[in-house]
Chain A
Amino acid sequence: QVQLVQSGGGVVQPGRSLRLSCAASGFTFSGYAMYWVRQAPGKGLDWVAAISYDGHKTFYADSVKDRFTISRDNSKNILYLQMKSLRPDDTAVYYCARNLSAFAVAASGYWGQGTLLTVSS
């Protein structure tokens, strides 16, 4: 079965960096686009970044462009989100998600369990 297991959250000071990971299993990771979505406390869902199945194309929300980098290691079946210059308004639960269909534009059919990032001094 499809599993997305996240790690790497925690408390970090403003201006620092952190990397989130999402380990995938139960499917052919290299065939699916992947996403990061975040949810600030008590707020709605906010798309953060997307990466194509092969890693050649990446897309970012304006709020994180030039600060966050999405990447993937298809040999290890891991999705990453490298975050730098973190700000208090980056505080959120971060979810990784998998495209519903391989090699196609599709909704996010599978989600990780979420990991909380708190940016605070």
Chain B
Amino acid sequence: EIVLTQSPGTLSLSPGGRATLSCRASQSLSSGYLAWYRQKPGQAPRLLIYGASSRATGIPDRFSGSGSGTDFTLTISRLEPEDFAVYYCQHYGSSSWTFGQGTKVEIK
């Protein structure tokens, strides 16, 4: 079973700042099947990035995903008020699906 570890647990930043979130897998995701979601309080998650680096429909270009193998990164270039939320990475496959424990991006 693949385990995803996200860091940091909490990121305190100012609006307009740059956020760098990490997701490390316990074994190589050679398929690149790694997604990122944003979840605001009381709402369902929203897909941001799939395939490690492809933005989902309607996602602004301030969001970018990168990485391969076991190390993946979500970067938010300029934080908007709606970006202060919890972010989850996910490995999706043909028979296994795993979420990281989440990173909370909070206003400093």
Interface residues, chain A, with chain B CB atoms under 8 Å away: 35, 37, 44-47, 50, 59, 95, 100, 105-109, 111-114
CB pair A44 B99 closer than 8 Å: yes
Stretch at the interface among B17-25, B44-52, B71-79: B44-52
- By secondary structure, the A interface counts as strand
Residues of chain A contacted by B44 (CB below 8 angstroms): 95, 111-114
Count B-side interface residues using an 8 Å CB cutoff. 26
> Is residue B53 within 8 Å, beta carbon to beta carbon, of the partner chain?
no
B55 to chain A, nearest CB (A): 12
For A107, give its contact among B92, B94, B96, B101 (CB under 8 Å): B92
State in angstroms the CA–CA spacing of A47 and B96 once bound together: 9
For B47, give its contact among A35, A107, A112 (CB under 8 Å): A107
Question: Top 8 closest A-B pairs, CB basis?
Answer: A107-B35, A111-B44, A107-B50, A47-B97, A45-B99, A44-B102, A44-B101, A109-B47
Look across to chain A and name the residue whose beta carbon is closest to the beta carbon of B102: A44
CB pair B50 A45 closer than 8 Å: no
> Is residue B95 within 8 Å, beta carbon to beta carbon, of the partner chain?
yes
CB pair A105 B93 closer than 8 Å: yes
- A106 and B50 in contact, given A44-B88, A111-B44 (Cβ under 8 angstroms): yes
Residues of chain B contacted by A47 (CB below 8 angstroms): 90, 97-99
Known: A47-B90, A108-B37, A111-B46. 4 other contacts (CB 8 A): A44-B99, A45-B90, A107-B35, A108-B47
